[in-house]
Structure 1
Amino acid sequence: MRDKVAIEVWDGWLRLFHWGLVAAVLISFYTTKTSGAPFLFPIEVHAQAGYLIIGLLVFRWLWGLLGSVYARFKTFLYPPVETVAYSQLLLKRRPGAYASHNPLGGWMVLLMLLSLSFQAVSGLFLSDDIFFQAPLYGVFGDGVGGQLRTLHQLNSDLLIILIGLHLAGLIAHRLLGEPLVAAMLVGTKRFRQQPVDARNEPYNVATLRLRAIGILFIAAGVVLWLWF
């Protein structure tokens, strides 16, 4: 049977954010595990990757409020009752089709964004006690700085777990016939029936473009302030 419904779900701005974040997070994790090539000072590259992550997250938080319909948080964050109901259907391998994130995926996205935000922001207050001091190191004193260092390390472990769950979710949905990675590459999802959260809200492309450019300037300003 041929696909009947094709929906443009992930706009180009969101896809650029997603793959940019993937690259920055990979660099960030890699530079915590290496002490040499290809980077002369891995800790500085780690910090710079963190600055980029902050800029990307600034964009995503604002785009989640002002962006295209399927990028908005209000589209894919569901009440607990609906989330539990979806989970039960998923266990029975009978989940409904969603254009945006399904109820479980939506809360996972929010949790990952919160964890990444804490990780990146807490890193601004840290030092390696040898060569590098982050832009806000010492602002809250040694006591708070030490607590942030501990939480930064613990949250790093949490992020690894969340990323692992995210990858497991991608595999599970691929087995259920929903290729999410391909959708994040091209922006379009195809369905055999109308998805549960299908929206038919008209929007002005020019207005969205202006919003995206404005948000990009804000995010770039944050990154440049941190970098230099």
Structure 2
Amino acid sequence: MNKRVKVWDLPIRLFHWSLVSLLGGLWWTASEGEMEWHMILGFGLGSLLMFRIVWGLIGSDTARFSHFLQTPKDVLQYAATLPENGIKPHFGHNPLGGYMVIILLLTLTVQFVTGLFATDEVFVEGPLYSYVSTDVADWMTWLHKQNVNWLLFLIALHLLAVAIHLIKGDSLLKPMLSGSRRDIVSQSARFSPAWLAWVLVAGIGGVSGYFLIWPVYSAL
């Protein structure tokens, strides 16, 4: 039980901490009115989301949606047994954590997509603003702003869950930093080679940079 067991691959850990940094940058640029940079960071968010979705299909076992997504019945049963069994370490996401990942990814996707059509009604318009009617653009702008509140709630809930796990002796932070943990039994798992993730990042980054980020940056 004291042997270190690999749980998270490097691409997933980099995705996680890059997302944390990017969300901080998006919040700051929006609050300070730096909308050009806000858009650039938004395209970075879109690139991260595309990577995570693809990596959730072809990546390491613990990163795959098929590994941690269980039926609603199983999740409810897991939640019902928590008061009796307590919080126990999992090899990857527990059933509730798996659903939180999906909800966060969907919320972030809504934030990214609505931002493509949004406008600050002064200087900046999303790259797809001109392709929809004013009513649609206004609705997208409203949803883009309102969705932030839901996102902040989810982030607070996630942080609360991390804190509760830590209090109960199940640290989620250290494994996301080191990639491994000592308090679980080793399980058979396949970890995809890192070069596959770098090829994926290069492809997504190249497409996003050429068609989305560079046109905005060159207009600054």
Name the TM-score, length of structure 1 as normaliser: 0.87
Asked whether the 8 Å contact 1:99–1:189 carries over to 2, the reply is: no
Asked whether the 8 Å contact 1:126–1:145 carries over to 2, the reply is: yes
Partner of 1:200: 188
1-structure distance, mates of 2:154, 2:207: 26
Q: Which of the numbers 28, 50, 72 marks the counterpart of 1:30?
A: 28
2-structure distance, mates of 1:24, 1:175: 28
Partner of 1:212: 197
Residue 138 of structure 1: SS of its match in structure 2? helix
- Structure 2: tracts of 5 or more residues without a match: 215-220
Asked whether the 8 Å contact 1:86–1:96 carries over to 2, the reply is: no
2-structure distance, mates of 1:147, 1:91: 42
Q: How many residues align?
A: 213
Q: Does 1:120 align with 2:108?
A: no
Shift of 1:90: 2.2
Deviations 1:157-187 (A, max 9, x none): 1000000000001001001111111111111
Identity in percent: 34
Asked whether the 8 Å contact 2:10–2:194 carries over to 1, the reply is: no
Asked whether the 8 Å contact 2:60–2:190 carries over to 1, the reply is: no
Deviations 1:95-125 (A, max 9, x none): 3431111000000010001100110121011
Matches within 5 A, 1:1-228: 3-35=1-33, 42-92=34-84, 94-191=86-183, 193-194=184-185, 199-202=187-190, 208-224=193-209, 225-228=211-214
> Residue type matched to 2:213 in 1?
W
> Residue type matched to 1:15 in 2?
R
1-structure distance, mates of 2:49, 2:149: 19
Name the TM-score, length of structure 2 as normaliser: 0.90
1-structure distance, mates of 2:160, 2:91: 19
Residue 213 of structure 1: SS of its match in structure 2? helix
Shift of 1:144: 1.1
Asked whether the 8 Å contact 2:49–2:109 carries over to 1, the reply is: yes
> Residue type matched to 2:76 in 1?
V
| Alpha carbons of structure 1 residues 202 and 132: separation in structure 2 relative to 1, 3 Å | closer
Greater helix fraction, Structure 1 or Structure 2: 2
Shift of 1:202: 4.5
Shift of 1:92: 3.3
